[in-house]
Amino acid sequence: MHVLAVVAHPDDAEIFCGGTLAKHAARGDDVTIAYMTRGEFGGFDTTEAELAATREEEARNAAAVLGADVTFLDFQDGRIVYTLENRLKLVDCIREHAPDIILTHFADDMHPDHRETSRLVTDAYYMVSLPLLEREHPPCDPTNVYYFGKPTSSFEPTVIVDVTDHEETKEQAALEHESQVAWLEEHGGIDAEFSDFVESMRATAHALGRQAGATYAEGFTRLHDTSVDYLE
């Protein structure tokens, strides 16, 4: 099985679906994280180029902890827009990796990059199997798209994944984003739900887990209500 997570920024994967990705990787599944941007707006007292390089290195280190491969799609942080050209870039990404399932952001989200990523991935998903759409890579047919959400959105998960045995790995991976630990803890207001980076992640996973009979869990909604053996 191949799982592809398409996220707007480095650290989004760890925060919202890191336990699920680690669980799939530990089982022997192929896991890839595609970063739309390098998160070059998320910092203080530096340049975009310097921060982009730092965050790419952190993303690679974090993905290694999770057991995932990485790819970068070279969109600009804070400036992801919906266009046909960008939708086709997502078609190319999905076809290149030919995943069985795709994970990405829930459409109703405060961050514009998250919203646009969700829309681009969803619409690209509908195009990746079209044989007459000729691109560099051949058509593929992922089974479904699973969406993860932020606590500040109207996200209500319908698929719960028990990540109890992988919560520690998720937290270790998140802490590889050293530049963001400081950024999210100091950037109150917009990101106030992350005033304590790892503790906030753990509390969210624990709260959802209690609802589902697990110590820690992550939640998703899916594009299609289909019969599947796992997202585990």
Q: Per residue in 57-68, pLDDT tens?
A: 999 999 999 999
Residue for token pair 């965050």 = 55
Highest mean pLDDT among 57-71, 145-159, 189-203, 216-230: 57-71
d(CA 148, CA 31) in angstroms, rounded, equals 16
- Please compute the mean of the pLDDT values over residues 78-82 and round it to a whole number: 95
- Give pLDDT, residue 48: 77
% of the chain residues with pLDDT over 70 = 87
- Please compute the mean of the pLDDT values over residues 120-143 and round it to a whole number: 96
The pTM assigned to this predicted structure is 0.90
What domains are defined for the chain?
2-222 (3.40.50.10320)
- Give pLDDT, residue 183: 66
- Give pLDDT, residue 179: 82
Q: Is the pLDDT of residue 23 over 70?
A: yes
- Give the sheet arrangement for strand 217-222, strand by strand: 69-72, 30-35, 2-7, 101-105, 144-148, 217-222, 159-162
Poorest-confidence range of 64-73, 121-130, 170-179, 181-190? 181-190
d(CA 13, CA 55) in angstroms, rounded, equals 13
As a whole number, the mean pLDDT across the chain is 89
